[in-house]
């Protein structure tokens, strides 16, 4: 099947994209508003974009329904120029989902989710102590794209926190101990890192050697 984007309703395009570009890492983003109040919300239109400079990107939509209004995360990034990406492990999934609830303004969603914050080293936004990886970021640029207050936020990582016991002295990361989750298809499916395989990257020489070995095999032999 194929579609020209212009022939798809917005909702259908969303469904096709979020159910095929999989899995997506999840950033539980913490920010603070101009009055100093902290906020946390999950975003899976998220990734690390480069290491030099160390950039992350977030895709933040406007609030659904009626007149477009910025989500608190976007409003706070505009107000303070900073945010923290807290990666989500299996133990944090339930709290992450509480942070996605559209609470009335007087509810402290970080407390409601049972999460604890600590001051960051280099940015005003706080970080979540229960997250295994916390990336303190300064907003580099935010692009308002399309309609309804969609924003692409680019942030530069200023400071990394990784829970003790996950990285050894040679900076090897134990990804079993990280136990991160990614967002999968549908509204509520997630994936862990437990099913994996190794596919060593090839050089031109090793690729040529494999080709030569394959063509030297007798007729009918497949492996
Ligand atoms: C796993 C997950 C991923 C999400 N990813 C995004 C996203 O990439 N962009 C977005 O605008 N909203 C996303 N949301 C919805 C926001 O988290 C939700 O609108 C939240 O209430 C925004 O909170 P805020 O107003 O405090 O910023 C996601 C929700 C969940 C549960």
* Pocket probe mutation, ligand 1, options 27, 41, 104, 187, max atoms within 8 Å of Cβ: 41
- The token pair at 10 is 């917005």
Ligand 1 pocket check for 86: Cβ under 6 Å: no
Q: Is the CB of 100 under 6 A from ligand 1?
A: yes
Question: Taking the domains of the chain in order of start, what are their residue ranges?
Answer: 5-197
Beta-bridge mates of residue 161? 134
Question: Which residue's CA lies nearest to atom 26 of ligand 1?
Answer: 72
- pLDDT for the residue 120: 98
Give distance in angstroms: CA of 59 to centre of ligand 1: 9
Closest Cα to residue 112, out of 39, 32, 28? 39
The 3-class secondary structure across the chain, one letter per residue, is: CCCCHHHCCHHHHHHHHHCCCCCEECEEEEEECCCCCEEEEEECCEEEEEECCEEEEEEECECCCCCCCECHHHHHHHHHCEEEEEECEHHHHHHHHHHCCCCCCCCCHHHHCCCCEECCCCCCCCEECCCCEEEEEEEEEEEEECCCCEEEEEEEEEEEEECCCCECCCCCECHHHHCECEECCCCCCEECCCCCCCCCCCCHHHHHHHHHHHHHCCCCCCC
Measured by CA distance, the residue closest to atom 20 of ligand 1 is 100
Q: How confident is the model at residue 127 (pLDDT cuts 50, 70, 90)?
A: very high
pLDDT digits (tens, 9 = 90+) for 52-107: 999 999 999 998 776 668 999 999 999 999 999 999 999 999 999 999 998 887 88
* Percent of the chain whose pLDDT exceeds 70: 96
158-168 confidence digits (pLDDT tens): 999 999 999 99
Nearest CA to ligand 1 atom 6: 43
Confidence of residue 223 (pLDDT cuts 50, 70, 90): low
Residue of 21, 23, 61, 71 to test ligand 1 pocket, by largest number of atoms within 8 Å of CB: 71
Residue 220 predicted with pLDDT over 70? no
Q: Which CATH number fits domain 5-197: 2.60.120.260, 3.30.2350.10, 2.30.110.10, 3.30.300.20?
A: 2.30.110.10
Q: What is the pLDDT of residues 2-43, one digit of tens each?
A: 999 999 999 999 999 999 999 999 999 999 999 999 999 999
Report whether residue 45 contacts ligand 1, using a CB cutoff of 6 Å.
yes
Ligand 1 centre distance from Cα of residue 120 (Å): 22
Q: 93: closest CA among 115, 78, 108? A: 115
Percent of the chain at pLDDT exceeding 90: 87
- The alpha carbon of 100 and the centre of ligand 1 are apart by a number of angstroms equal to 6
Q: With a 6 A CB cut-off, is 83 part of the ligand 1 pocket?
A: no
Whether residue 29 has its Cβ less than 6 Å from ligand 1: no
Q: pTM of whole model > 0.85?
A: yes
């Amino acid at each position: 099947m194929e579609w020209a984007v212009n022939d798809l309703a917005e909702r259908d395009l969303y469904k096709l994209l979020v159910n095929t570009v999989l899995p997506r890492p999840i950033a539980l983003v913490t920010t603070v508003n101009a009055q100093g109040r902290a906020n946390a919300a999950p975003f899976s239109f998220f990734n690390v974009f480069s290491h030099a400079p160390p950039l992350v990107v977030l895709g933040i939509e406007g609030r659904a329904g009626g007149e477009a209004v910025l989500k608190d995360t976007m409003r706070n990034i505009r107000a303070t120029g900073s945010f923290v990406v807290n990666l989500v492990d299996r133990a944090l999934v339930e709290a992450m989902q509480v942070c996605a609830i559209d609470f009335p303004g007087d509810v402290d969603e970080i407390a409601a989710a049972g999460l604890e914050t600590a001051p960051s080293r280099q940015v005003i936004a706080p970080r979540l102590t229960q997250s295994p990886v916390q990336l303190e970021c300064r907003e580099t640029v935010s692009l308002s794209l399309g309609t309804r207050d969609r924003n692409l936020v680019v942030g530069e990582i200023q400071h990394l926190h990784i829970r003790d016991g996950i990285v050894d002295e040679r900076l090897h990361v134990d990804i079993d101990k990280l136990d991160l989750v990614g967002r999968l298809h549908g509204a509520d499916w997630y994936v862990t890192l437990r099913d994996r395989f190794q596919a060593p990257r090839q050089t031109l020489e090793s690729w040529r050697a494999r080709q030569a070995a394959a063509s030297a095999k007798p007729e009918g032999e497949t492996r």
